[in-house]
Amino acid sequence: ELALRTANQRMEEFLGMVSHELKTPLTSIKGNTQLAIRQLKSNMQAFERIIGLYEATEQQSRRLNRLVDDLLDVSRTQAGRLELIPGPCDLREIVHEVLQEQRKMWPGRIINLEMSDDITLSLYADADRIAQVITNYLTNALKYSEADRAVAINVQCKGQQVYLAVCDEGPGLPKDELERIWEQFHRVPGIEVRSSSHVSQAGLGLGLYISKTIIEGQQGEVGVQSTLGIGSTFWFCLPLCSANKAEPI
């Protein structure tokens, strides 16, 4: 009975948080659209302001989309239906694509890349899902650290594995949180968003859980090293495969 009560209480807290997180972008979308209509009616020359309003609206819809995607993914993992579509892919390309997109989202932030160009990084994996994990690590690193702090991606091969790590100089995590952060809906008390792009603000505590499910579903491992007050390094490793044989080694 106690377990049931605790589960109900967690669900209630979660629903409260979800409604709040979904409502914030919705309110902004509604407000921007109403303002744009009013501007259009009153002054046909106000194009620049209207473009600004629609750009903000688009960013909020993207944010809403990400929240809904996370919720869908988590309900799929619970039903054992998170689909992974593996194929031959190159981690180097995936990293470059994610980086290009994130640099656009976070202009002014320093995101360093340490990845040797003379090794092949062939994987037999679901490229879109791997991109989702890197994006999640990277947006967490960016949003939980101050805007003047650099973030780095480090990629290296170790034997038949490739390791990717995202390092930040954010708040760091207490030891007893290092396991719990991978649980669904878990957010560390006291850790606040310190800088935000319009798309990546507070989340639902689902990104790391989904990332772990994706990586472990492809024979990989995830982990974190963190020191309170210094920063965190979130990493994953995946098996490499030979470039001309689309099979894991």
- Report the interface residues with ligand ADP, using CB under 6 A: 136, 140-141, 144, 168, 170-171, 173, 181, 186-188, 191, 203-209, 232
- Distance (Å) of CA 239 to CA 121, 160, 209, 230, 236: 10, 6, 20, 30, 10
Beta pairing, strands 111-115 & 151-158: parallel
Position with the least CB separation from ligand ADP:
203
Tell me how far, at minimum, the Cβ of 145 lies from ligand ADP, in Å: 7
3-state secondary structure of 163: strand
- Report the C-alpha gap between 87 and 79 in whole angstroms: 24
Of residues 206 and 214, the one with the C-beta less far from ligand ADP: 206
- Report the C-alpha gap between 5 and 1 in whole angstroms: 6
Tell me how far, at minimum, the Cβ of 139 lies from ligand ADP, in Å: 8
Of residues 35 and 163, the one with the C-beta less far from ligand ADP: 163
Tell me how far, at minimum, the Cβ of 204 lies from ligand ADP, in Å: 6
Of residues 40 and 110, the one with the C-beta less far from ligand ADP: 110
Tell me how far, at minimum, the Cβ of 176 lies from ligand ADP, in Å: 13
Could you give the residue ranges of the DSSP H alpha helices within the chain?
2-42, 47-78, 91-105, 127-143, 207-216
Residue 237: partners with Cβ closer than 8 Å, 6 or more residues away: 158, 161, 162, 163, 164, 220, 221
- Distance from the first to the final alpha carbon of the chain: 49
Of residues 181 and 215, the one with the C-beta less far from ligand ADP: 181
Tell me how far, at minimum, the Cβ of 237 lies from ligand ADP, in Å: 18
Tell me how far, at minimum, the Cβ of 201 lies from ligand ADP, in Å: 9
Tell me how far, at minimum, the Cβ of 196 lies from ligand ADP, in Å: 11
Of residues 171 and 220, the one with the C-beta less far from ligand ADP: 171
Of residues 32 and 232, the one with the C-beta less far from ligand ADP: 232
CA triplet 241, 76, 84: central angle to 5 degrees?
15
- Report the C-alpha gap between 11 and 78 in whole angstroms: 15
- Report the C-alpha gap between 47 and 63 in whole angstroms: 24
- Report the C-alpha gap between 55 and 52 in whole angstroms: 5
Of residues 29 and 173, the one with the C-beta less far from ligand ADP: 173
